[in-house]
Amino acid sequence: MSTIVSPSVLSADFANLERDVKMLNSSEAEWLHIDIMDGQFVPNISFGLPVMKAIHKHATKPLDVHLMIATPDDYISEFKDAGAEILTVHYETCTHLHRTLQRIKSEGMKTGVALNPHTPVDLLKDIIHDIDLVLIMSVNPGFGGQKFIPQAVQKVAAIKSIINEAGAKTLIEVDGGVNLDTGKQLVEAGADALVAGSFVFGSENPVETISKLKVL
Ligand code: DX5
Ligand code: ZN
């Protein structure tokens, strides 16, 4: 089975977004990873709904949207309208996570839950059947191009056991510092999907780099 690759548009050339999105369309990437940052939950601001809509207009692949915002509950239908197919919220921002996931589902999107590096995977045990995608952060969210935190590999293995024991169909995605080396460790530990930003866009041939990640 091949790995799902979700290149992070955060590392694209924002002055040439149409060109970069079309490049991703022509690649073996399964999804496009969209990082939304609000300067509150994370110490950085990326881009918002109008830019995401512009990406959606040109993208031929599902948008895998990673909300790094303090109040995701306030914007669920807005992100649906902007073209999100998978909507991932951070565990750390949702007091009533079960309700949030039901709302995402009722809008017709797939549900995702992201965990910061310090948040234990066990916290998702009782809700695993409601989650389509668990996003394990292998850096502290907020910036592209950071160093991989190796404990993420054990977290992938641990959440994989929880998923298997529950007989759930939840996919595991990992985000931050992914390259061929860290990507291989993650896939061996049970990751189904890899997000990669700087590794893809910083390479000489991004289309080829995506193909290499896909066969890990
Ligand atoms: C970090 C973002 C990532 C980021 C990954 O907060 O969630 O998606 O774009 O970038 P790289 O692959 O460069 O670590
Ligand atoms: Zn992300």
Question: Cα(106) to centroid of ligand 2, in Å?
Answer: 23
Residue 159 tokens read as 């959440």
Q: Is 108 left (phi over 0), alpha (psi -120 to 50) or beta?
A: left
Q: Are 108 and 76 within 8 A, CB to CB?
A: no
Q: Are 180 and 213 within 8 A, CB to CB?
A: yes
Question: Cα(136) to centroid of ligand 2, in Å?
Answer: 10
Give the amino acid at 180: L
Of these residues, 20, 35, 38, 132, which one is catalytic? 35
Give strand ranges (E) for the chain: 4-7, 32-37, 63-68, 84-90, 110-115, 133-137, 171-175, 193-196
Q: What is the pLDDT of residue 207?
A: 98
Q: What is the pLDDT of residue 98?
A: 98
What lies within 8 Å, CB to CB, of 97 at 6+ separation is: 89, 91, 113, 127
Considering the entire predicted model, what is its pTM?
Answer: 0.98
Q: Are 173 and 7 within 8 A, CB to CB?
A: no
Q: What is the pLDDT of residue 112?
A: 99
Question: Cα(175) to centroid of ligand 1, in Å?
Answer: 6
Residue 28 tokens read as 């073996």
**pLDDT tens for each residue of the chain, 216 residues long:** 799 999 999 999 999 999 999 999 999 999 999 999 999 999 999 999 999 999 999 999 999 999 999 999 999 999 999 999 999 999 999 999 999 999 999 999 999 999 999 999 999 999 999 999 999 999 999 999 999 999 999 999 999 999 999 999 999 999 999 999 999 999 999 999 999 999 999 999 999 999 999 999
Q: What is the pLDDT of residue 117?
A: 98
Residues with CB under 6 A from ligand 1: 8, 10-11, 33, 35, 66, 139, 141-146, 175-178, 195-199
Pocket test for ligand 1, best of 32, 64, 198, 203 (most atoms within 8 A of CB): 198
* Among the listed residues 2, 63, 13, the one whose alpha carbon sits nearest the alpha carbon of residue 36: 63
Q: Which class is domain 4-214? A: alpha beta
